[in-house]
Structure 1
Amino acid sequence: MAQMTGAAITGLGAYRPSRLITNEEIAGEAGVTPEWIEERTGIRSRYRSGPEESVTMMAAEAGGKALAMANVDPADVDLVILASATKKDRIPGGAPEVASRIGITTTGAFDLNAACAGFAYSIGLAANEIRVGSARNVLVVGAEQLSRFIDPEDPATYVIFGDGAGAAVVSPSEVDGISPTVWGSDGSRADILGTKWDANGREFAKMDGPLVYRWSTKNVPRVARKVCAFAGIELSDIDWFVPHQANLRIVDQLAEILQIPDEKVAKDIIDTGNTSAASVPLALSRLHESGRTSPGDRVMLLGFGAGLAYAGQIIRMP
C-alpha cells in the first residue's frame, strides 16, 4: 500500500461568463420588479454564458488558472474531476474534454453529479487520492450552465440561477490542509429541487423555495458542527465560512445560527447568483482574490442542495 501523506489546496481559479445580467435587465422577462428579486434572494446580478461558453470550456478556463496559481504542470496532473449537473450532452462525460483542453493527457477523468454539493464531494475524493498516493495532483472543477434550464414563467428559478466555473488543485502536503469530509443525503426530499419536463419536451429547473429554505436552515447547521468535530476544531476557530451560495437569506440565516460574524462569510451570491456546483469554488476564489485571506486560514466549505445531498470540510487557504 502507498505511504499516506497530507493533502492541501495549492491553487484556485475562476471563470465568469462575459454577460453580466442585472436585476433591471431580467425583471421584466420574469414579470417581477428588481426590488422583488433583491428582497427575496439578495441577488443584484448574475452571469449568463454565451453560445461559445460551454460547461467544458468554462471548466477548462478555471482549471487552467488554478494550475497556474499552483505552479503545477499539466503533465503532473493524474486526475481531473468535473462536478456538474448541467453539461448539455449526458454522454460522454465532460472531464476528459476539460483535461484535453488544458493539455492534460492520459489522465484519469470523471464527472460527479451531486448538484450544489458537487465541489465539496469532489474535494473530499481528491484529498483521499492524494493521501493514498494514487495521484500526484488532482484538478477539481465545479462548472454549471444553469441558464439552459430556467423558465421565465417561473421567477423563483429564472432570477436566481447563473453560470460559471471554479477550480482547485489538490496536491501533497507535509501538513494536511483538508479535513475529513462530512457528507450525506436525504433522498426522501428529492422532489423539492430538481428538473421537470414540460409538455413541449423542455427540461426546466423547479424548486420549492420555502421548503428548501426550511430544510437548509434546519439541517445544514448540524452538518457544519459535524464538519468542525471531524476537523478537531470549534466553530469559533474558522477564519472564513464559504457555504453554497443558494440565496442570501439562507447564507445569512446559517451564519446567524452558527454565530459566525458577518465579516467572515462569503457572499458571492449577491453579484454571481446561484451557480450550483460552481458556487463554492467561485466564492472561494473571489475571497482569495480580494486579498482578505492569508495562507493557512481555516475555511469551512459547505455544499448542499438537490438530491438532497450535502458535504463539507475544513480547508487551509493556499
Structure 2
Amino acid sequence: MPTPAAPGGSRIVAVAGYRPSRIVGNEELAARLDVSGPWIERRVGIRSRRYAQPDESVVDMAATAAGKVLATAGLTARDIDLLVLATCSLPSPMPNGAASVAARLGHPAMAAFDVNAACAGFCYALGVTDGLIRAGTSRRALVVGAEKMTDWVDPDDVDTATVFADGAGAAVVVAADRTEINPVVWGSDGDRADLVTIPDRHSSVTMQGQAVYRWVTTSLAPVALDACRRAGISPADLKGFVTHQANLRMIEHLAAALGATGAAVGRDIVESGNTSAASVPLALSRLIGTGRIRTGDPVLLLGFGAGLSYAAQVVKSP
C-alpha cells in the first residue's frame, strides 16, 4: 500500500487553559517583600496570579489542560498520535513529563516528549509539531505548555516572587490541506544565557530583569516582523498579538514597535502572572474565550525567555 502523501500544512483546531484555583493578589506578597501592591502592579503589570496547590504537579495541570482541549475539539486521547509538552519546571529530569501526561489521558502508547525552551517553549513545541505533521510523521497532536514555577521561586526574592506563577495551556494541532501555522522564526542568544537561570536542582530561579527587558525591547520586534513576512502579511493585517506574558510594559512596547494597531493584544499577565511556557496558550485561550479574536483570524504568537530563546509564528485562530 503506498504511503499517504504528507499534508500541505497543519492547523490549530482548539485551545484551552487551566489556571489553578488559588488566587494570590499583590497585597499578599507585598508585606513579606517590603513593597506595596501598587508598586508591584506599576513595575510588572500584575494584579494577581495563580498558584498550584502543594500536591498539584506540572503533569496534573498539563493533563487537565489537555483533557479540556480534547473535549473542546470533540476528540479523545485515542485520536492523538503525538504529545509535545513544553516545560522547564519538572521536579526531576526523568521520566519525561509528556509520557506521564499521555498515561493520565488514557493513551500511554502515543509518541510523547518534552521541549525545554523555558518561556519560549510553547512556540518552539508548536513549530516542531507543525514540522512533524508536514513530514507525515503525525496527523493529530497535542501541544501543551505547563509550569509550576512556584516550585523554583525564592518567596523572599522580589524580582521573581512578584512575577512567576503556575498554570497550563494546550492546543490540538491536526494535518491540513493548507497552511494555517506559518513558518516559525526562532533562535537564541546563548551568550546571555546567564540572565535567567536555575543553577542546579537545589537552587531557585534567578533573573536579571533589567537586562532581559532591554534584550526583549531592542531585539524581538524584528523577529515578529519576520514572522509576519514569512506568513505573507503585514502587522496591520493581524487580528491578535500574543506574546509571552513576562511583563506588561514589555508586551505593550512590542505591540507598539510592531505596529499591530488593529490587533487584540494578549494581556493575560494582569490576572495570571508569568507562567513561562504556559503563558502563550493561556493568553490565546483568553482572547478566544472573550471573543476578541474569531475563527480564522491571523494571530502572531511570540515566545521568549531563558536561553535566551525566542520563537514566533503567525497562526489562524481556531
User: What's the TM-score, normalizing by structure 1?
Assistant: 0.96
2:237/2:262 contact within 8 Å kept:
no
CA deviation after TM superposition for structure 1 residue 262, in Å? 7.7
1:4 aligns with 2:6: yes
1:116 aligns with 2:119: yes
1:119/1:141 contact within 8 Å kept:
yes
Q: Secondary structure at the match of 2:46?
A: coil
Aligned counterpart, 2:143: 140
CA deviation after TM superposition for structure 1 residue 187, in Å? 0.2
Q: Distance in 2 between matches of 1:32 and 1:104?
A: 47
Identity %: 48
Aligned counterpart, 1:179: 182
Q: Secondary structure at the match of 2:213?
A: helix
1:205 aligns with 2:205: yes
Aligned counterpart, 1:14: 17
Q: Distance in 1 between matches of 2:273 and 2:285?
A: 15
CA deviation after TM superposition for structure 1 residue 263, in Å? 5.9
Bigger Cα displacement from structure 2, 169-178 vs 257-266: 257-266
Kindly report which structure 2 residues correspond to 1:99-114, keeping only aligned pairs within 5 A, or say none: 99-114=102-117
CA deviation after TM superposition for structure 1 residue 2, in Å? 5.0
Deviation digits for residues 231-263 of structure 1 (CA, Å, limit 9, x no counterpart): 111111111000000000100111111122386
CA deviation after TM superposition for structure 1 residue 141, in Å? 0.4
1:78/1:138 contact within 8 Å kept:
yes
1:88 aligns with 2:91: yes
Q: Secondary structure at the match of 1:312?
A: strand
Deviation digits for residues 201-259 of structure 1 (CA, Å, limit 9, x no counterpart): 83111111110110000111010011011111111111100000000010011111112
Q: Distance in 2 between matches of 1:103 and 1:129?
A: 23
Q: Distance in 2 between matches of 1:25 and 1:263?
A: 34
Q: State the one-letter code of the partner of 1:292.
A: R
Aligned counterpart, 1:161: 164
2:236/2:261 contact within 8 Å kept:
no
Q: Distance in 1 between matches of 2:21 and 2:48?
A: 13
Provide runs of 4+ in structure 1 moved above 4 Å. none
Bigger Cα displacement from structure 2, 55-64 vs 289-298: 289-298
Q: Distance in 2 between matches of 1:159 and 1:107?
A: 38
1:2/1:132 contact within 8 Å kept:
no
1:72 aligns with 2:72: no
Aligned counterpart, 1:309: 309
1:222 aligns with 2:222: yes
Q: State the one-letter code of the partner of 1:228.
A: C
Q: Secondary structure at the match of 1:203?
A: coil
CA deviation after TM superposition for structure 1 residue 164, in Å? 0.2
Q: Distance in 1 between matches of 2:251 and 2:70?
A: 29
Alpha-carbon distance change, 130 to 255 in structure 1, aligned in 2, over 3 angstroms: same
Return 5+ residue gaps in structure 1 as ranges. Answer: none
Aligned counterpart, 1:280: 280
Q: Secondary structure at the match of 2:301?
A: strand
Q: Distance in 1 between matches of 2:53 and 2:287?
A: 26
Q: Distance in 2 between matches of 1:84 and 1:205?
A: 14
Return 5+ residue gaps in structure 2 as ranges. Answer: none
What is the CA RMSD across the aligned residues, in angstroms? 1.3
Q: Distance in 1 between matches of 2:232 and 2:6?
A: 20
CA deviation after TM superposition for structure 1 residue 90, in Å? 1.5
Q: State the one-letter code of the partner of 1:3.
A: A
1:255 aligns with 2:255: yes
